Structure 1
């Protein structure tokens, strides 16, 4: 007679949550790295926002801090699942409970809530009394790569991970909808740190510039250490006047570069480490 499988305990949940996040990070960041820093390194270089490649030391630092952050995310993720099992959140398991329409709307709401959470916590962490303890680690990457997506200090990792329980406390969310949101946020985060501008030049000449955020916007934040605090959207920065004054000009410059011999990667010992 087989015994029934007991529910996973907290540490098993932590292990599973960390492992799942780590696999997604390695998969998506690895694909982005393979495309942008190996296969299409030369043909895409004219769209490289910072026109050079980082050293291997910088890349390994980003991976190391990201690994630490994912452990913290795993603990918070496990706590969120545990809280849901206790009935302390609004996470649910049957789509019929709230319907298919809300299933998809909840993902959109999660993205909007996360964007607001990120903007205001990010901006707060730039306060001179908090920056050193919370946000300095992330700004060690002045020319970030896809591996920098989760390169946070432990305190910043905790702040960013708190979006997990926040979402399922403030609104009903199906477990699969939450999983799709998690997929969205890691893909967008990696794309924003990839170092290449993939949006078309006409974006800044259309109303979409008021809504859509771009890799140029975030890479400039890494360069300048001020302004451009948004994540998915650009409306908080525009509303609060925190877009860097040179943002749109920089976007135009990056997207106007001609592809050709003048835009090939510089041949230096540092750059060759990423060959």
Structure 2
């Protein structure tokens, strides 16, 4: 994040936003700048890629499903946008620790070598997938579900805009593994930024209503077909990228949409 902050300082904040008497090294200025970058960046990714997905990938016939609620898209966007706003505050605290050198992020690719970078990407995906599975499953515990995660499950037939429509605390806790990883394991700074964008786009994609998964990847990849069953049945498919942890945790459910028992099939039955 320090590269992004430096870029924004040089091109926008210093010449156009802040007073010349407020130095770039000032702690308050850095925190405020990080908050602006984090909030605007997250909202742009969410609304931008969400809109592209909604208009070019999402099957709008799903909006005819009986479980698709009135004003759902509007409510998804409102909840998602508000959640990202509040999530940005604790996230900025973690970003600030990173720019102050308290993480294991590094600049020079030679530090770990290309093989180290590739292994770190695999490690990041494995670590975050594992942590999110257990955090997500914990969110379904009856003692806390109604206070936090229930807001997300209002949307039984989600659109891409449901991807970030969480209670802010729920959303932050599920994003925490992404931020914890570089404090435990070495990770290249640009790879970290790229993965941050990737995980947000992935989260949008598993809510996009496109249930097609090529070949044998059905048994490996946790896609929209798997995740819609999570929204419909609550106790299955908690994973983020892979089906691994659902299989190990006994919560795997083969996608109903691929057995002609999914939301599209419900709509076809209504038309008959």
Q: Aligning the two structures, in what range does the TM-score lie when normalised by the shorter sequence? A: 0.7 to 0.9
Cα offset for 1:105? 2.5
The separation in 2 between residues aligned to 1:151 and 1:178, in whole angstroms, is 24
Aligned residue runs from structure 1 range 244-263, under 5 A: 244=253, 247-253=254-260
The separation in 2 between residues aligned to 1:50 and 1:217, in whole angstroms, is 20
SS in 2 for 1:132: coil
The separation in 1 between residues aligned to 2:194 and 2:116, in whole angstroms, is 14
Q: Which residue of 1 aligns with 2:34?
A: 13
4+ long deviations beyond 6 Å: none
Change in 2 beyond 3 A, CA 1:50/1:121: farther
SS in 2 for 1:87: coil
SS in 1 for 2:222: coil
Q: Which residue of 2 aligns with 1:121?
A: 135
The separation in 2 between residues aligned to 1:68 and 1:35, in whole angstroms, is 25
Cα offset for 1:252? 2.6
The separation in 2 between residues aligned to 1:110 and 1:59, in whole angstroms, is 32
Q: Which residue of 2 aligns with 1:69?
A: 83
**Is there any run of 5+ residues in structure 2 with no aligned partner, and where?**
1-19
- CA offsets 1:223-248 (integer angstroms, 9 cap, x no match): 1122211111001111221123xx34
Q: Which residue of 2 aligns with 1:102?
A: 116
The root-mean-square deviation of aligned C-alpha atoms, in Å, is 2.9
TM-score, reference length from structure 1: 0.79
SS in 2 for 1:72: helix
Q: Which residue of 2 aligns with 1:243?
A: 252
Pick the aligned partner of 2:211 from 186, 197, 200.
Answer: 197
Q: Which residue of 2 aligns with 1:273?
A: none
Instruction: Tell me whether 169-178 or 92-101 shows the greater mean CA deviation.
Output: 92-101
The separation in 1 between residues aligned to 2:260 and 2:116, in whole angstroms, is 41
- CA offsets 1:137-183 (integer angstroms, 9 cap, x no match): 11011110000111111220220232233111111112211111112
The separation in 2 between residues aligned to 1:196 and 1:265, in whole angstroms, is 20
The separation in 1 between residues aligned to 2:64 and 2:209, in whole angstroms, is 7
Pick the aligned partner of 1:154 from 144, 162, 168.
Answer: 168
The separation in 1 between residues aligned to 2:212 and 2:261, in whole angstroms, is 10
